[in-house]
Amino acid sequence: MDKDYKHFIEDFSNLYLGGRLSYSEIFDNEEIPFKLRAILMKYMIEGIDPDTTIENHLFFIDKSSMAYYVYKKLRAKFVLNIYSPDGHGKGKPGYRIKEYEIDEVLDNPEIMAHKDTIFLQEIRVKKLKLLSVTV
């Protein structure tokens, strides 16, 4: 239970970071590519505690912050589990899983109003987009 959504997976074209990873866990994980760790260290950690999880940081990102700009530049996709009283439309309460970009998360009033019942499953970053960012 303690390791749920604290993963790093890499395939041919994508990097996947679990939403419950803290920034300090990312910095200490040698399996995560150096460039991604360097980008996060240089631009994301500004003004926040390194023990903050990606999930907790996501809902408090300001559109004028460097974190917003980096997620936008990387075109990061956020896989969110959103609680819904009707679940998948079958009448039972449950979670819907949907993928969003940073603008869709921050501009969606439903997500921001219910951020206490939403959790971030993972972030997906394309390796090609990672190459487009200079450190």
pLDDT, position 2:
67
Query: Domain limits of the chain?
Result: 8-131
Which CATH code for domain 8-131?
3.30.465.10
HEC string for the chain? CCCCCCCEEECCCEEEEECCCEHHHHHHCCCCCHHHHHHHHHHHCCCCCCCCEHHHHHCCCCCCCHHHHHHHHHCCEEEEEEEECCCCCCCCCEEEEEEECHHHHHHCHHHHHCCCCEEEEEEEEEHHHHHCCCC
Q: What is the pTM of this model?
A: 0.88
Q: What is the pLDDT of residues 2-54, one digit of tens each?
A: 678 899 999 999 999 999 999 999 999 999 999 999 998 888 887 788 899 99
